Amino acid sequence: MVAPLRVGLAGLGNVGAAVIRLIETEQLSIVARCGRPIEVVAVSARSRDKDRGVSLKKFRWHDDPLGLARDPDIDVFVELMGGEGDPAKSAIEAALAAKKSVVTANKALLARHGVALAMLAEKNGVAVNFEAAIAGAIPVVKTLREGLAGNSFARVYGILNGTCNYILTRMEQDDLSFADCLKDAQRLGYAEADPTFDIEGHDTAQKLSILASLAFGTRVDPDAVYVEGISSIAPADLEAADELGYRVKLLGVAVKTPQGIEQRVHPTMVPKDSAIAQVMGVTNAVTIDVDGFSPITLVGPGAGGAATASAVVADIVDIARGHRLPVFGRPAAQLTEAGRAPMQRHEGGYYIRLLAVDKPGTAATIATRLAEQQISLESIVQRHRGGAPSGGSDAKSPAGPVPVILITYATTEDAVRRALDAVKADKVISGEPQLIRIEKNR
């Protein structure tokens, strides 16, 4: 039999422990699939004494992950520590310099240093695999890098953060506020004590920058991503979306435009009949618009020990089989600058919710400002304070501002922003307008 592939594993949290269990329980199947055993032989973590539900007695222990990365008796270094800097970065660099292939689930590190690591891997003739860094158990990296290697892409977009999708699902289904749903997500362990990174879209942005590189051959650059979170979403927006045939999701979208690759993360209205609109709870999904045929949507668990471990072990199996591909699907030197397709040039439909001052001429003023920017309206709905649509001209006007919902035909971000700035200057609305972009099926 071929000699075992020897694995050194740094990071023994839920995912690390799950990787050890999966390799042990599926060893016979793994051997059948890749022709050689895979063995974890050495580990590193911050504490030796923590109960992880797996025995560590048979593994060599390294207090320093750098020492593990340089261990001459391992073939593959698996990094599950997290963080965009050290010790993860220096440990991966050390492993690559020692001509050891690397498997990582570290999206933050790849988003910030992925191109440099790809160059180092190519220089030393080894692999960097990272399926677990994006969407957990969903094989989207393999799909873009291998399964669709002969195709061109128009757009890649998806639900890449389970915390946000859970919150939006609960808000919609149970008519709860954002704050209440966030507390519930924290209680269940879906959201961190400080949830800012998730709910403000930064986690999704890191993953999107990697997907864009795989799809469009760009250098990974999270700073090229326009980012908005979901904290401004109100039950009124979800109710209106439902009535208009949409559902609100936090999407990461990378799309090829005449100005370049547009990368954006924001709350989005998607048609209810789209595949991605059906994805609820903590589940993730990625849709790939492929030139020449209908879109492909991949759906599955995006986080959790078992799901992430599944992706990690699949990456290790590929190395055991002798598969080695360019990290982002093509040689690092051929990756182009991502650039920033200006968000002001984004074109699409918009949902706009305004609190209109209840006085003569308000509607005419709003309509005039939109017309000045050549914005056409698909629909306009005036709602009573309680949320129901207005019954028409005979209905009594409620005291105070009147909620008004506008749906535009395709226009530009710049035009919408200029129109809303003019409406605010006219003092015919109260507070800030709510703006949600609409992402249509193709």
Statement: residue 396 has pLDDT above 90: no
The residue with tokens 């800030």 is: 432
pTM for this entry: 0.92
Torsion of CA 415, 349, 269, 131, to 10 degrees: -90
Q: Within 175-219, where are the H helices?
A: 178-187, 196-199, 202-216
56: CB partners within 8 A, 6+ apart: 12, 43, 48
Per CATH, which fold does 345-438 belong to? Answer: Alpha-Beta Plaits (3.30.70)
Fold match between domain 5-137+308-334 and domain 148-301: no
3.40.50.720, 1.25.40.10, 3.40.50.2020, 3.40.109.10: CATH of 5-137+308-334:
3.40.50.720
Beta bridge partners of 251: 266
Give Dmax (Cα) for the chain: 86
The token pair that represents 43 in the structure block: 């580990």
Phi-psi region of 144 (alpha: psi -120 to 50; beta: other; left: phi over 0): alpha
Q: How many residues does the chain have?
A: 442
> Catalytic site residue 207?
yes
Closest CA to 248 of 187, 373, 164: 164
Helix (H) and strand (E) counts in the chain: 14, 17
Residue 398 has pLDDT above 60, yes or no: no
Which pLDDT tens digit goes with each residue over 236-246?
999 999 999 99
Question: Which listed residue (89, 100, 207, 256) is catalytic?
Answer: 207
Angle at the Cα of 379 from the Cα atoms of 374 and 380, rounded to 5 degrees = 95
- Residue 101 is encoded by which pair of tokens? 């292939």
Write the CA distances from 391 to 353, 384, 395, 406, integer angstroms. Answer: 18, 9, 5, 17
Q: Which CATH number fits domain 148-301: 3.40.50.10320, 3.40.50.720, 3.40.47.10, 3.30.360.10?
A: 3.30.360.10
What average pLDDT does this structure show over 384-412?
67
pLDDT in tens, 44-55: 999 888 888 898
pLDDT digits (tens, 9 = 90+) for 219-275: 999 999 999 999 999 999 999 999 999 999 999 999 998 888 999 999 999 999 999
Sorted by where each begins, the domain ranges of the chain are 5-137+308-334, 148-301, 345-438
Cα-atom radius of gyration of the chain, to the nearest Å? 25
Q: In this model, does residue 166 exceed pLDDT 70?
A: yes
User: How large is the angle between the packed helices 202-216 and 107-124, nearest 10 degrees?
Assistant: 30
